[in-house]
Amino acid sequence: MDVLYLGDIGLQRAAKWLYNEQEEDEKILLQQKSILWEPYRTISSLYLWEIINCGLIKKKLQMKFYVDIV
């Protein structure tokens, strides 16, 4: 199979980390780099997710907003 979901944020971040790119639009970067992986994009996506599972990409801090109710 040659399946790769370009909308997957995890895959986008992993590709950005793997290629050490500063590209603002991570989806475009994933699309451009995935051409190199054809016809093995399904397997490539598993490796990209393993980058995340191993903790090689630091999680972004989630900002929480608190609202005071008066």
pLDDT, one tens digit per residue, over 1-52 is 899 999 999 999 999 999 998 878 999 999 999 999 999 999 999 999 999 9
What's the structural domain count of the chain?
1
Q: Could you report the per-residue pLDDT of 6-20, keeping only the tens digit for each?
A: 999 999 999 999 999
- How far is Cα 38 from Cα 48, in angstroms, rounded to an integer? 15
**The pLDDT value given to residue 22:** 85
36 or 70, greater pLDDT = 36
| DSSP conformation class of 36 | G
| CATH code of the domain containing 42 | 1.10.1670.40
Q: Which domain does 41 fall in, by range?
A: 1-70
pTM (2 d.p.): 0.76
Name 10's Cβ contacts closer than 8 Å, sequence gap at least 6. Answer: 48, 49, 52
